[in-house]
């Protein structure tokens, strides 16, 4: 996976066109990857899911299109229906999972703290 230099600016264009929602699949593309942060675009067909997991990094999720049910926590799990424009912050090591309610697209940004 190529590294994006921290000291260089760049445009990442036409991501929606170059990463369409695939039928009965989850797809992803790393957009930016360096020592400060990692940005990934995900697409999910309706019904696709990511099982519960966590990240050692802080995470910001932005729903770009569609709707998903996003769960956070372990013992006192909380689930919310997220729609286009909604944003979620996850503290490092916070367990989380999601299920796509419709075909959807999200941006995930991971930041080292």
pLDDT per residue as tens, the chain (113 positions)? 678 888 888 888 888 888 899 999 999 999 999 989 999 999 999 999 999 999 999 999 999 999 999 999 987 889 999 999 999 999 999 999 999 999 999 999 999 88
**CATH number of domain containing 65:** 2.60.120.10
Q: Report if residue 6 sits inside a domain.
A: no
Q: Report if residue 26 sits inside a domain.
A: yes
- Look at residues 79, 12, 19, 73 and name the one whose alpha carbon lies nearest to residue 45: 19
First to last CA, the chain: 22
The C-alpha atoms of residue 91 and residue 94 are separated, in whole angstroms, by 6
pLDDT of residue 1: 60
pTM of the model: 0.90
Q: Report if residue 4 sits inside a domain.
A: no
The C-alpha atoms of residue 4 and residue 88 are separated, in whole angstroms, by 24
Q: Total structural domains in the chain?
A: 1
pLDDT of residue 113: 81
Q: Report if residue 76 sits inside a domain.
A: yes
In terms of residue numbers, what domain contains 77? 16-111
């Amino acid at each position: 996976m190529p590294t994006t230099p921290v000291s260089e600016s760049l445009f990442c264009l036409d991501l929606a066109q170059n990463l369409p929602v695939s039928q009965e699949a989850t797809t992803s593309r790393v957009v930016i990857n360096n020592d400060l942060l990692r940005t990934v675009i995900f697409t999910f067909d309706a019904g696709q899911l990511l099982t519960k997991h966590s990240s050692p990094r802080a995470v910001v999720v932005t729903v770009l299109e569609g709707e998903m049910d996003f769960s956070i926590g372990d013992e006192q799990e909380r689930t919310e229906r997220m729609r286009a424009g909604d944003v979620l912050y996850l503290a490092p090591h916070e367990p989380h999972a999601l299920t796509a309610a419709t075909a959807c697209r999200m941006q995930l940004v991971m930041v080292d703290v």
